[in-house]
Amino acid sequence: MSNRITQIPFPGSSGQTPTGAMQFQDDWPGLFIRGDTAISLRARIRGLQQRLADHPDVVVAAALIQLRQIADIIERDVIVHDERA
């Protein structure tokens, strides 16, 4: 298991946490994206990267950098890889 993945036990939970806002004690609320939703989001991000790769606007380029970082996390830590391969 990657040390970049934080596992949180939820006693009595249904075992499925929905995509949405999540807050830990007094920390800022963050966004939790379920794995199945994250995998489709990754595909959409990669599609935008391809379509907008040569876009001249620096704001678009900056947004793509942030989106690429999210897609990289999904590929590295969310998508289940066969470790035996």
Give pLDDT tens digits for 13-30. Answer: 666 788 888 888 888 999
pTM metric for this prediction: 0.78
What is the spatial distance between Cα 9 and Cα 64, in angstroms, rounded to a whole number?
A: 33
What is the spatial distance between Cα 22 and Cα 83, in angstroms, rounded to a whole number?
A: 30
pLDDT tens, residue by residue, 52-79: 999 999 999 999 999 999 999 999 999 8
The pLDDT of residue 69: 97
The pLDDT of residue 13: 62
